[in-house]
Structure formats: C-alpha cells, structure tokens
Amino acid sequence: MISAKLQSGDEIRVVSPATSLAVISVENRQIAHEALQYLGFKVTYGINVAECDVFNSSTVAARLEDLHQAFADPQVRGILTSIGGFNSNQLLQGLDYDLIQANPKVFCGYSDITALSNAIYAKTGLVTYSGPHFSTFGMHRGLDYTLTAFKNCLMDDRPCAVLPSDQWSDDAWYSDQINRTFEENPGFLTLNEGQAEGTLIGGNLCTLNLLQGTEFMPSLADQIVLLEDDYESQPLTFDRDLQSLLHQPGFEQVRGLLIGRFQHASHMTQELLTQIIRSKPALDKIPVLANADFGHTTPHFTFPIGGRGRLVVEGEQASFTLLEH
C-alpha cells in the first residue's frame, strides 16, 4: 500500500518518536522550517514534539499521542521525524496499526526510526520511507542531492535511478554551518556481482536487528536489503550485527544487499568491508554494493520500505533504481 504522493500545499507534521526536537538549535529549526516551506509545504508540529526528559526524549504516551494525531488528522499528508535516537522501539506495542492502515500517508525518517518504519510496513503493508529527518533540512549547505532525492521519491511516482553524489560530508554541520568539509565521492563499491529485483526493506542495521524474533520484523524473502550504521559500528560490530541478520529465517531468499556509506569514526575501510562480505557464504550468490548515499553521512537518498527496486552490479558498472515508491 503506497500513500498519495506529497504535493505543494500539503501539510507535513513534525513528530519526535525518539529524541526530542528540543535538542535541535532554534536556528537550525528555523532553517529546516523555511526549507520545507520553500518546497511548498505547510509545516506543523506535534503538541509534544519538544517535550524533553533526562534521556532527551519524552514519555511513551506523549510520543504515541503525536504519532496517532498525525495519522488521524485528515489535513496531514506527510509525517517527518525530528531526529533519530535510541528508543523508537518502545512505541511498537502501543502503536494503533489499524489507525495507521486506515489513514495511509508518507512517514519518513532514518536511523533509530528504522524500528518504526519497518514495523509499520510489517504490520500494515503501508510503504514507509527511509529518508531525511526534519532536522536534516536544517542543513544550510550540501543539501541539494538530498532535496532532489526526497522529491524524486516522495513527490513523483516515476521510476528513478539513484546516482552517486558528487561530494559527501561527515562533519558536524549542525554545530558549524560555515566551516564545512566536503570530500569527492568515488562512487559505488562493488563487492559481489549480480542482478536483483525485489521489495526494499532495511535502514539502520543495529536498529533493524532489534526487531528480530518479534511480530514487527518484516519478511526477508524476496527482498533487497539496505543497511547502514553510524560511527559506533566498528568493523567487528558491523560484522557481528550483519551475521545476526544473516541468521534470520528467510535470509536465504534475500535477492540483494546495498550498504550505505560508513562514517570516518567507524574505522571501516574498503579492505575490511570486502573481507567481511567475503566471509559470509550466505552472500556469495547475490549482488552486494556498498558506499551508497544513505545513512549517517550526508547527503542521502530517500528509499521506500516496502517499495520495489532493482540492483545491478556488473564489474565496475553498478546501478540502483527505485521502481515502485
């Protein structure tokens, strides 16, 4: 089930299912608000969006209230999360999945939001989106690729090729909008050749793994899985987390794997990642492509969790296409 595409004039509701909007500076909030207005959207906020406790979050009840109000409000056409965090999975048993299924609309975020996006898809069949948070739109420079990919996925229903960005950044842009560091993007990294077409699931690996063994884990059969992780995922951690996913029922039917770019502080290298992938017999017969523009570096593309895509890896020639989103 794919919700209606966003259009200029639509209302977007900002909610905080994990970390509070309060952690984002007033200046960056204003930049984000104006960037979304420039795209033609009316931006509104959940009543509890800036509530903040000792965990920089809010009560489960407050977060559920904002999510339920956003899905129930017929004027709201899209929902953006403020930022990621650590505790979105606290909400899974309290979500009203019947309400969500009866009111399909765009739901977009990444990182810790992976738990909600994949659970909503698993429980309702609604396609959700791994893409920018509200806070992402607070970036003053280096946002063009992210904006274009957001519009291609959420404001257009035509198939679109996801091309590598020209440059990328892993700097603390939210602390210093002026002194930014941009690096040339070498493009995709081929790890296994092959072709695959299937349903897309995934997002942040360590968060997706929190769903293992629960009713909230989507099926892995006939999927192309997209995985990324942040600076805390060192090579040994990523290896262990990936192995855990490979052990899940249905992984033998996974059709392809796309891996997002690692942050510098993860200390992942091309050589180490290649060695990790080569050590997994479960991946030998499927295409595996890495260094894609999604995850905790910027910029990043938006992809549909529950949509369909095509992954082609042939030598140095590689492509990823969103088919249904």
pTM over 0.75: yes
DSSP string, 72-88: H-TTEEEEEES---S-G
Sheet holding 160-161, edge to edge: 160-161, 317-324, 308-314, 194-204, 223-228, 256-260, 288-292, 189-192
Q: Is residue 163 predicted with pLDDT exceeding 90?
A: yes
Q: 238-276 burial by CB neighbour count: b if 16+ within 10 A, else e?
A: bbebbeebbebeeeeebbbbbbbbbbeebebeeebbbeb
Q: What domains can be seen in the chain, in order of their start residue? A: 11-138 (3.40.50.10740), 161-324 (3.50.30.60)
Catalytic residue check, 135: no
| Residue 111 is among the residues annotated as catalytic for this protein | yes
pLDDT in tens, 114-155: 999 999 999 999 999 999 999 999 999 999 999 999 999 999
Q: Exactly one of 16, 133, 228, 300 is catalytic; which is it?
A: 228
Secondary structure letter of residue 261 according to DSSP: P
Q: Out of 20, 57, 111, 130, which one is annotated catalytic?
A: 111
- Other Cβ atoms within 10 Å of 93 Cβ, number: 11
Predicted confidence (pLDDT) per residue in 50-88, tens digit = 999 999 999 999 999 999 999 999 999 999 999 999 999
What is the overall mean pLDDT for the chain? 97
Task: Confirm whether 325 is a catalytic residue.
Answer: no
Active-site entry in 88, 130, 266, 296: 296
